[in-house]
Amino acid sequence: MQVPARAPFNLPATAGLFVLAWAILAFPWLSGGVTIPWDAKAHWYPHLGFVARAIHGSGGAFWTPNIFAGSPEIADPQSVLFSAPLLALALFDPAPSLAAMDRAVFAMLLVGGMAVILIFRDRGWHWGGALVAAIAFAFGAAASWRIQHVNQVFSLCWWPVAWWLLARALDRSSIAYGIAAGIAAGLMVLGRDQVALLLTYLLAAHVAARWLAGPGRKARFRASLAPLGAGAVAGLALIAVPVILTALWGEQSNRVAIDLEGAGRGSLHPGALLTLAIGNLYGAAGPLAQYWGPPSPTWGDTGLFLARNMGVLYAGALPFFLVFAVIGSGAALAAEIRYVTIALAVMLVFALGWYTPALQLFWHLPGISLFRRPADAVFVIGGLYSVLAGYGAHLLLTGRLRAGGIASAGFAALFVAAAILAIVGKAAPVSAWAHLAIGAATLALSWIALAAAPKIKPGLLPLALAAILVVDLAVTNAPSESTALPPDTYDVLQSATGNATVALLKAGQVRDATRRDRVELIGLGYFWQNAAMVHGFEDTLGFNPVRSSAYAALVGAEDIASLPEQRRFPPAFPSYRSTLADIIGLRFIVSGVPAGEIDKRLPPLALTLVARTNDAYIYENPRALPRVWVAPAAEPTPARLAETGFRLDLDPRDIVPIEGPVPPRRSAGGTARIVSYANAAVVVETETRDGGILVLADAWHPWWVARIDGRDAPVRRAFGVVRAVEVPAGKATVHFTFEPFAGALAQITGWR
């Protein structure tokens, strides 16, 4: 039978069917019955809430005083300021709900799936293949199992948009499409994560493949220059500032690069490949006690450091058979799909990390050493795998492929047999047999449908494939402990929570002309760590893998603070009873266990227990210093302060260790009072006899500037972590302003 050059394609119908499938599969979250858990709520949701309140309250969103005694939100790759979907939500909603954030995430998955459909239409592939690919893309592999990593999900979703526009720009030599592609790629890169980096390489590879394919290379190359140049300018204009800000912050942060061994610990274990056919084989859906996949005690010491859901590759049994059929028939190397096939193979090798020698080769690519998990490539693998599966459906629907033969049944049987051997060999929990039975049944039903495909009416076959895939994903990739939890789990992150601990802290903290109490939330569980950003507390800790290296070294702030043992006490902060604890104004320690179990060096009665709630012990440190004061003298900051700590006789009200030139001692200190305090602007009035050192006990950062009665004054780093300014005799008004753009320019050029 003669196959037409372009398969039939009804875009409105295909899009409508995809929206229906999306609504069915996303309904548990869209309805608010469950919410995307873990990092999505413990990390990104507080950042979303902070930015929304800052935008609508005019407090300034570029700096947050709520975690790590202050942090540059605008430079933080974990913030939402450059995440288009979440920033849009924050602009329109001053108090976004859990469900609102979830809807933004699923809206991006809808956008990504729609872009996949448009790619298929432009390539002349069957609409049924586009529908299969879009469903698998949006609800398969990491897009489903790692949906809590919302930035990476967004990067993944922008990729097919950029790919579609880029292909159009090259096909039509269109500057307009080139600009649009550059903007889409820029939005993808703004995630500033490893998924975005890998996808950038894929877009570059697409251009290279376009240049090299077939005759006419020189003409294609010349025709591509204008749209590619326009796209590059548009994309760079969009990403230049945020990427530069993040890079500069990275130089001062605790996390500049990951070594090869550290990255290797984030490799995808080869055993995870079984989840291509049996999604929940290892019990990643929960409960955690029944998870037995790699890494877990069941597999012994693998050396890996991955969460249970990071290695799940399942995108449906139909895609599994379709991809096998495309590869087995040799169609995967056809010119129109070869790029996808090769890219999928490369990404799989990269994801396997230290299980192949290739990781050392990948390590030399620019940017790779900035990230810690080759397994993050599972996002990219899922996207490419879905497109390849959709292409297989296209060939099936146009009569050019059989996907339900003996070979495919035997291939599936090999996976099932390997799963049985793993269950028996690893003495897996009994629940593993149930998961295997569900997987085997899904494989069998999908294979039967594919085997019967020639007997199904052509108009009904695409609908049957889509329906089977939706049911499959609704069962295997259903809401679980890894992807969905009851909204009540995050009650403490609701601005209107009735939580007793939150209420006590709000009632107890003092904010007046000199004092702004800080709290430390430690050991309260995963979801409390960034609660300060929701409720306006100013926390000495927080939840973020990127934070000031100086602050982390001196204060002992780790990237997470969910467990009591995650509180580190370095020499400069040896105990809650310490000079630095007082300097940063740590008034309340809020812990999940008695303070003595966290701080083994804490003297008896050093802290006052002021309350005990269902969540926490709340202690007060009565020695906490005010937020501002004026000292008469300064001394050089010790060269090895992080290793030696502060001298025991140091009186912070009298002598301030500062970096840079040390002014002469004044006869006396003076007074200081806070006139106004906002996120990115603080005004302090001082009065002294002959000048002194004004201390503002907020985290130091080079992008903070000070002006005294309109004249620039250098902001000095005091006590290794906070801000100080030399003030003149008499009365003075000091304006502290966070100026990231001018500050970054000054860092780059050396101008100020």
How does pLDDT run across 686-717, given as a tens digit for each residue? Answer: 999 999 999 999 999 999 999 998 899 999 99
What's the CA gap between 443 and 316, in Å, rounded? 9
Bridge partners of residue 658, in order along the sequence: 636, 718
Domains with residue ranges and CATH for the chain: 31-476 (no CATH), 495-620 (no CATH), 628-640+651-749 (2.60.420)
Question: In the prediction, which pLDDT does 710 show?
Answer: 87
For residues 339-350, average pLDDT: 97
- For the record, the structure tokens of 379 come out as 């996002």
Residue 37 region, left (φ>0) first, then alpha (ψ -120 to 50), else beta? beta
- Write 333-336 long-range contacts (CB < 8 A, 24+): 335/213, 335/214, 336/123
pLDDT category, 257, cuts 50, 70, 90? low
Name the strands in the sheet holding 586-591, side by side, starting at the edge strand that comes first in the sequence. 518-522, 586-591, 617-620, 608-612
Q: Quick one: which of 391, 388, 387, 398 has its CA closest to 453?
A: 398
Secondary structure class of 520 (helix, strand, coil): strand
Cβ atoms < 10 Å from Cβ of 525? 16
The label of the residue with tokens 């292909």 reads 167
Question: In the prediction, which pLDDT does 4 show?
Answer: 41
User: 337: Cβ–Cβ under 8 A, 6 or more apart, which residues?
Assistant: 326, 331, 388, 391
Q: How do strand 711-713 and strand 704-708 relate by DSSP bridges?
A: antiparallel
Question: In the prediction, which pLDDT does 2 show?
Answer: 40
How does pLDDT run across 148-206, given as a tens digit for each residue? Answer: 999 999 999 999 999 999 999 999 999 999 999 999 999 999 998 999 999 999 999 99
How does pLDDT run across 488-505, given as a tens digit for each residue? Answer: 999 999 989 999 999 999
- Write 114-118 long-range contacts (CB < 8 A, 24+): 114/15, 114/18, 115/157, 115/160, 115/161, 115/163, 115/164, 116/160, 116/386, 116/387, 116/390, 117/11, 117/14, 117/15, 117/18, 118/164
Q: What is the mean pLDDT of the chain?
A: 95
pLDDT category, 20, cuts 50, 70, 90? very high
Question: In the prediction, which pLDDT does 372 show?
Answer: 83
pTM: 0.95
- For the record, the structure tokens of 200 come out as 């950038």
Question: In the prediction, which pLDDT does 256 show?
Answer: 58
By 3-state DSSP, what share of the chain in percent is helix, strand and coil, each rounded to 5? 50, 10, 35
For residues 234-252, average pLDDT: 94
Compute φ and ψ for 674, nearest 5 degrees.
-80, 120
Print the SS3 string covering 557-582: CCCCCCCHHHCCCCCCCCCCCCHHHH
User: 734: Cβ–Cβ under 8 A, 6 or more apart, which residues?
Assistant: 683, 684, 685, 686, 694, 706, 707, 708, 713, 725, 727
Question: In the prediction, which pLDDT does 3 show?
Answer: 40
- For the record, the structure tokens of 91 come out as 């602009």
User: 242: Cβ–Cβ under 8 A, 6 or more apart, which residues?
Assistant: 74, 75, 81, 82, 190, 192
With beta carbons less than 8 A apart as the criterion, state whether 603 and 595 touch: no
What's the CA gap between 594 and 407, in Å, rounded? 62
What's the CA gap between 136 and 120, in Å, rounded? 14
- For the record, the structure tokens of 46 come out as 């507080």
Helices 127-139 and 378-397, packing angle to 10 deg: 160
For residues 13-28, average pLDDT: 98
Query: How far is the CA of 130 from the CAs of 17, 95, 172, 314, 472, in angstroms?
Result: 11, 37, 22, 18, 18
Compute φ and ψ for 417, nearest 5 degrees.
-65, -40
Query: How far is the CA of 531 from the CAs of 57, 527, 534, 577, 616, in angstroms?
Result: 19, 7, 5, 24, 14
